[in-house]
Structures are given as structure tokens and as C-alpha cells.
Amino acid sequence: MGIPWDDVVLIQQGKKPGDPSVITVNCPDKAGLGCDLCRIVVDFGLSITKGDFCTDGNWCYIVLWTIPQPSSWRVDWESLKTRLQSACPSCLMSFYFNQQSNGSRTSTWYMLKMFCVDRKGLLHDVTKALCQLELTIQRVKVMTTPDDKVLDLFFITDNMDLLHTKQRREDTCERLSIVLGEDCINCELHLALPEYESQQGFSSLSEAVAEELFSSELSNKKACSQDLKPDMKKIKTAMIMVDNFMSPAHTLLQIQCVDQKNLVYDILRTAKDCNIQIAYGRISPSLEGRRNMDLFIQKADGKKIIDPDNQTALCSRLKEEILHPLRVTIANRGPDTELLVANPAELSGKGRPRVFYDVTVALKMLGICVFSAEIGRHSTSDREWEVYRFLLDESLEFPLASARAKSEIVDRVRRTLMGW
């Protein structure tokens, strides 16, 4: 069984601005492939407006209708096609071999060290340039000096797998120097030492902050940072229905919820982590700000989900990921004010795409400078979380001692992350 490699991924771009671009993937199947493909689409700044999934367990056919997200840049369609192809099992090798090889791939970490003159929006400008270069930020440490300079340490991986070449490293530093202009004092890029990859932790979180970020019962919480403004209360409604009568071989999940950025990725990520196989799925376009999805699913053993406890557990997990895919709060850290954003990491270890980009663009739009920033991991009893921490500088527009200013910062960051 095989088709020409160029036909594994086909992209038909929209004929005019506003028209969706259609991505078609036709290849051997593997566990979690839909999630992996959606992750790449999101990483390129695209929103999935509609989708169809179909597989017999050996071969799959996926069609995604996409449009650029408002804060995104021009999409490199050829690069997107290459990335999507790299996620697909090869048509020329055995299915089993490719499941093993695709699951065991690891990316090499590199350390980008930048010393710059500090200014508003600097962190976002660097982040945007790295995203455009198809470099993924795994960890970051940002430190501001007393003389208004900033030292940025970015631990990155290369989606193009070319940073081992001198040309790619030089091109990266040159691009960053052009973006930052005279503000860039020095830029260095080299292989990170192995110990950096194993340093998952960072400075500890207070018990109160950890409870607010990682609680599995946010819908019942009254903490002010997680409370939503009146026009956003609607996100607390999501309906998930289970039907075992529609199909003799599959359980039907019907999902109705508010539309939001990366919703399809969140649902497929949850299915992948719960070891649920989607045999057929239809994602309907957003109608009056809400989405409908029909997913015909099976357990890993190919059986329907009959047990009521298993049904309840799956629905509860899906509802949690739909309503609270990201956690945002603001807290005092000694005399300073800290913005914290957390999201669950995939079981594969991958974090959520473009979170750091979205947070920094929100802070830039608010005119708020970041004194220091870091990305780390935090483990709870049932999962691992990726946590983003930003120490904020005071500004005339947002005096950080003001509860109203803090609420506005959290609201803007959350809206940017969720696409509202």
C-alpha cells in the first residue's frame, strides 16, 4: 500500500482573503496522529474552522479547513507541508516500524544567549522572530540588570532539525540582530549542555498559587483571578453526551461548547492522552460562537466504552480541558507582582504551542514590561504542567498595587490565549 510522498499532504490555499485553506492528509494511521497534526497547524498560527477524520485503524484520511489567527504572520505553506509530512508514518515502510521510530524521536536542545538594551515589547519581538524561524522555546530565563539591560537565555529546539549546521545558527543570530537593531548588544547560539534538558523544575510556587493553578475543580472556585467577567460566563457551559446505540462498534461522543482558540487540539490531545482512538470525527463550523463535534471512538483494545464509570471519567476530563485548557492568575512574589500561566503538558512531554508568544503579545499590547520570565514544569499527582512566570514592571497605565489593574491584565492575557 502506498501513494506518492507529495500526495500524503495536500494544501489548497484560499482563493481570496478570508477564504479557508484546506489541508488534506492521506497516510498510514498511528496513535495520536490527529493530535500531532493539529499541533503543527496551531504552531503555524492557523485556526481550524472545520474538520473531518476517518480511519480504519491502518489508514487515515483527514481534512482540515483553516484560517490564520488574527495575531499571526504570513504562513509558509511549503514549510507547513514539510512539517505535516514529517509527522506522518511513511508509506514506504512497515506501519509497525514507523510507530516505533516516530515515537522515539527526540530533539536536541540549543541555548540562545542574548544581551540587549531593555525596552517595551522586546521579549515578544524575540519570541515572534524565533517562531517565524520555526524554533520552539522549551525553557527561558530572562533577567533585567540595574543598568536597563536584559540577559535572555532561551533553550530551543529546531523544527527543521538544522541547528547543528553553522549556517542555520548564523542565520538565526543575523535575523535576531536585524529584528532588534541597535538594541542587540550580543547574540550567541550553541548546543546546550545535557544537564539543562533534565532541569525541569524552577523556583517553588506558594501553596495558594499552586491550588489556584492546578485545582481540578475550577468551576466551583471563587478565587478572583480565575473568576470571569460577565461576558465570558458562557464558557462555563459545555455539553458532552455519550451514545452507544448509534453504532454497533463505536461509542458516539457529541460535544457542544463555546468556540475558542485551539479547541480541536485540546480535544484530540485529551483523547490521545486517555488512549482513546477516534475512528470517525466531524467538526462543524462555529455557529453563533459555539461548536458541535461528533466523534465515534473506541478504547485501545477496539471496544466500545460501556462502563458508566469510564464514561463519566472521560466526559469529566474532556469538560475540564474544554473549560479550562489554560490557567491564568496574578499573585504577589515578595514585593513584586507575578503573572502565572499554566497548561497541561502532553503525556509525550510536549507543551502547548504558542503560549509564550500569546502571553508576550498581550503584555506588549498593554504596554507592560517584563522584569524577568521563566518557563518550567510542575508535577501534580495526576499530570505534569508547563508553567510560565513573568515578573511585571510597574507602569502608569497599570499600577500593580491596584486590584482593578491586576484583573485587567489577567483578562487580557486570558482573552488572547483563548482567542476571544
Q: Is the Cβ–Cβ distance between 312 and 303 less than 8 Å?
A: no
**Domains 5-90+236-323 and 109-191 agree in fold:** no
User: CATH class for domain 5-90+236-323?
Assistant: alpha beta
Q: Cα separation of 303 and 251, whole Å?
A: 9
Residue 316 CA: distances (Å) to CA of 63, 179, 216, 224, 274: 28, 45, 10, 24, 12
* pLDDT tens for each residue of the chain, 420 residues long: 456 666 899 999 998 888 999 999 999 999 999 999 999 999 999 999 999 999 998 999 999 999 998 877 789 999 999 999 999 997 544 444 444 444 445 689 999 999 999 988 999 999 999 999 999 999 898 988 989 899 999 999 999 999 999 999 999 999 999 999 999 999 999 999 876 655 545 668 888 888 889 876 654 444 334 455 555 555 567 899 999 999 999 999 999 999 999 999 999 999 999 999 999 999 999 999 999 999 999 999 999 999 999 999 999 999 999 999 999 999 988 888 999 999 999 999 898 999 999 999 999 999 998 988 999 889 888 889 999 999 998 877 788 888 899 999 999 999 999 998
pLDDT of residue 196: 63
∠ Cα 7 353 258 (to 5°)? 95
pLDDT of residue 208: 87
pLDDT of residue 72: 72
For residue range 178-231, list pLDDT tens digits in order.
Answer: 999 999 999 999 999 876 655 545 668 888 888 889 876 654 444 334 455 555
Lookup: cell for 284: 462543524
* Angle in degrees, 0-180, between the axes of helices 403-418 and 355-366, rounded to the nearest 10: 140
pLDDT of residue 73: 76
- Sequence ranges of the domains in the chain: 5-90+236-323, 109-191
Lookup: cell for 313: 471519567
Q: Cα separation of 80 and 124, whole Å?
A: 22
Residue 101 CA: distances (Å) to CA of 30, 88, 96, 134: 11, 11, 9, 22
109-191 under CATH 3.40.50.720, yes or no: no
Residue 318's contacts (CB-CB under 8 Å, 6 or more residues apart) are 240, 253, 255, 267, 270
pLDDT of residue 229: 55
User: Strand, coil or helix: what is 251?
Assistant: strand
For residue 182, how many C-alpha atoms fall within 13 Å in the half-sphere facing its CB? 0
Q: Cα separation of 420 and 415, whole Å?
A: 5
Sheet harboring 135-144: ordered strands across?
Answer: 184-191, 110-117, 149-158, 135-144, 370-379, 384-392, 336-344, 327-333
Identify each DSSP E strand in 40-134 by its residue range.
46-55, 59-68, 110-117
- The β-bridge relationship of strands 370-379 and 384-392 is antiparallel
Lookup: cell for 287: 455557529
∠ Cα 118 119 121 (to 5°)? 120
